[in-house]
C-alpha cells in the first residue's frame, strides 16, 4: 500500500539539461529508424503523460532524418493498472488516441522513466486490446533499474543507478513549464 505522507524532497543532482534531452531524443530517433529497417510499418505510442511529448519529439526528429512521417498515438494506461485498488482513489482517466490500426504494425512504446516495468505491462495489455501488432519495442529516456517484471527497453536514453528512496523527475516544457531531468531524494 502506497502512503502519501508529507515528505521532504531534496534535489540531489541534475541528470540532463535541455540540450542533453534534445541530443538524446535525436539519437533515439536515429536508433529506432536504423534498427527497425525501414519506417513503413513504424508507429510511436506515447504513454500518458510524459511519454506523449517525448514520442512527438522523436517523431519530429525522424521527420528531420529523411522526411519520414511516423504516426504517433497516445495511450492512457489507467484502466490497465494492476494497482488500481491500492493507489487511493481512482486516477483520472484520459483518452487514449490511436487513430491508426495497430495490426501488423511495428510499434514503439515511449515513456519517460522505466522503473518497475508495471506501466509497460499495462501498456502492452492496452495495446493488444486494439489489435495484433507485428512487434512492440520500448523506448525510454531514463532506465533507473529496480525491475519487477521481465521487461527491458530496446532504446534507452540513459541508464541511471538509483536507490529505492530516490525519484527521477523528468520535467518537460509541454507539461511542466521547465525542461530538465533531476534526481531527487525523499528525506523522512
Partner 1 sequence: MGFRVGFTNPEVKEVVTYRFRDLLALEPLSAAELTFLLDQSKPFQEIQRHPLKKLATLRGKTVALAFFETSTRTRISFNTAASRLGADTMNLQAEASSLKKGETLLDTAFNLNAMKPDCLVMRHSASGAADYVAGRLDIPVINAGDGTHEHPSQGLLDALTIRDRKGTIENLNVTILGDLSHSRVARSNIHLLGKFGCRFTLCGPAMWVPRELENIAPGTAIRSVYKIEEAVEDADVIIMLRVQTERQHEASISANDYILGYQLNAERLKRAKPDALVLHPGPMNRGIEITPEVADGPQSCVLEQVTNGVAVRMAILYLLTAGEVEGGAAHPATQAVPGTPATHNRRATDRSTEQPISKGKDS
Cell 506501466 locates to 119
Determine which residue in the list 129, 134, 145, 163 makes contact with partner 1, applying CB under 8 A: 129
Could you tell me which of 33, 21, 120, 102 has the C-alpha nearest to residue 69?
Answer: 33
Q: Report the nearest approach of partner 1 to the CB of residue 65 (Å).
A: 30
For residue 148, state whether it binds partner 1 (rule: CB under 8 A): no
Q: Which residue number, 85 or 161, has a Cβ lying nearer to partner 1?
A: 85
176 Cβ neighbours under 8 A, 6+ residues apart: none
CB 116 within 8 A of CB 147: yes
Q: Which residue number, 62 or 172, has a Cβ lying nearer to partner 1?
A: 172
Strand, helix or coil at 37?
coil
Determine which residue in the list 167, 179, 180, 185 makes contact with partner 1, applying CB under 8 A: 167
How far apart CA 184 and CA 158 sit, in angstroms, is: 17
HEC string for 58-106 = HHHHHHHHHCCCCCEEEECCHHHCCCCCCCCCCCCCCCCECCCCCCCCE
For residue 94, state whether it binds partner 1 (rule: CB under 8 A): yes
For residue 159, state whether it binds partner 1 (rule: CB under 8 A): no
Residue 150 in grid coordinates: 521481465
Stretch 62-81: interaction string toward partner 1, x if CB under 8 A: --------------xxxxxx
Q: Report the nearest approach of partner 1 to the CB of residue 105 (Å).
A: 14
Q: Report the nearest approach of partner 1 to the CB of residue 184 (Å).
A: 8
Cα-to-chain-centroid distance, residue 143: 10
Q: Which residue number, 33 or 139, has a Cβ lying nearer to partner 1?
A: 139
For residue 155, state whether it binds partner 1 (rule: CB under 8 A): no
Q: Which residues bind partner 1 (CB under 8 A)?
A: 2, 4, 9, 49, 76-81, 83-96, 113, 115, 118-119, 125, 128-131, 167, 169, 171, 175-178, 184
Amino acid at each position: 500500500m502506497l502512503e502519501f505522507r508529507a515528505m521532504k524532497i531534496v534535489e540531489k543532482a541534475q541528470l540532463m539539461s535541455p540540450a542533453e534531452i534534445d541530443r538524446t531524443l535525436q539519437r533515439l530517433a536515429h536508433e529506432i529508424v536504423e534498427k527497425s529497417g525501414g519506417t513503413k510499418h513504424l508507429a510511436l505510442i506515447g504513454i500518458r503523460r510524459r511519454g506523449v511529448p517525448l514520442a512527438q519529439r522523436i517523431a519530429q526528429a525522424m521527420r528531420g532524418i529523411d522526411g519520414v512521417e511516423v504516426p504517433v498515438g497516445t495511450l492512457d494506461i489507467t484502466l490497465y493498472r494492476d494497482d488500481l485498488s491500492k493507489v487511493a482513489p481512482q486516477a483520472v482517466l484520459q483518452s487514449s488516441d490511436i487513430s491508426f490500426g495497430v495490426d501488423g504494425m511495428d510499434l514503439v512504446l515511449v515513456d519517460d522513466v522505466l522503473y518497475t516495468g508495471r506501466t509497460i505491462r499495462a501498456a502492452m495489455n492496452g495495446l493488444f486490446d486494439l489489435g495484433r501488432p507485428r512487434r512492440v519495442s520500448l523506448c525510454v529516456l531514463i532506465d533507473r533499474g529496480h525491475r519487477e517484471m521481465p521487461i527491458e527497453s530496446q532504446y534507452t536514453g540513459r541508464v541511471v543507478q538509483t536507490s529505492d528512496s530516490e525519484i527521477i523527475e523528468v520535467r518537460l516544457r509541454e507539461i511542466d513549464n521547465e525542461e530538465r531531468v533531476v534526481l531527487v531524494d525523499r528525506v523522512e
